[in-house]
Amino acid sequence: MKRIIAILVLVAGFAFQANAQEVKTVALEQTKGEFTQKELTLKEGTYIFEISNNAVGHDVGFVLAPKGKVEAENHIKDAYVTSLVKNNSKSTSKKVTLKKGEYVYFCPLNPTPQYSLTVK
């Protein structure tokens, strides 16, 4: 019985570690009025967005939404940065699981154009 419990604990530990390794970070940089990355293509999966404020001169944020649905009620809330990104600093989002489809990302505080993010 102890052996079975030990095996179950070991298997659960490996499963937990595998899940932790599946989260990838996507680094995006904002300058005045734009993101330096104009378009992204990602695989289905779980991501954390790391947003850099490179001398914009004020706080910035990050919005991710399905393409064509950029109203606030359609924003992917977990993609918001956990705190506004101060000048010359970085902030991250929570974990965001993306399915196949087309999305847009932008910053209404900078403000930036809407950029394309495709998940294949």
Print pLDDT tens along the chain (120 aa): 556 555 555 555 555 555 556 999 999 999 999 999 999 999 999 999 999 999 999 999 999 999 999 999 999 999 999 999 999 999 999 999 999 999 999 999 999 999 999 999
Predicted structure pTM score: 0.83
- How confident is the model at residue 54, as a pLDDT? 98
Report the DSSP pairing between strands 39-42 and 115-119: parallel
- How confident is the model at residue 4, as a pLDDT? 58
The enclosing H or E element of 16 equals helix 2-21
DSSP classification of residue 44 = S
Query: What are the structural domains, with CATH classification, of the chain?
Result: 23-119 (2.60.40.420)
- How confident is the model at residue 78, as a pLDDT? 98
Name the residue type at position 3.
R
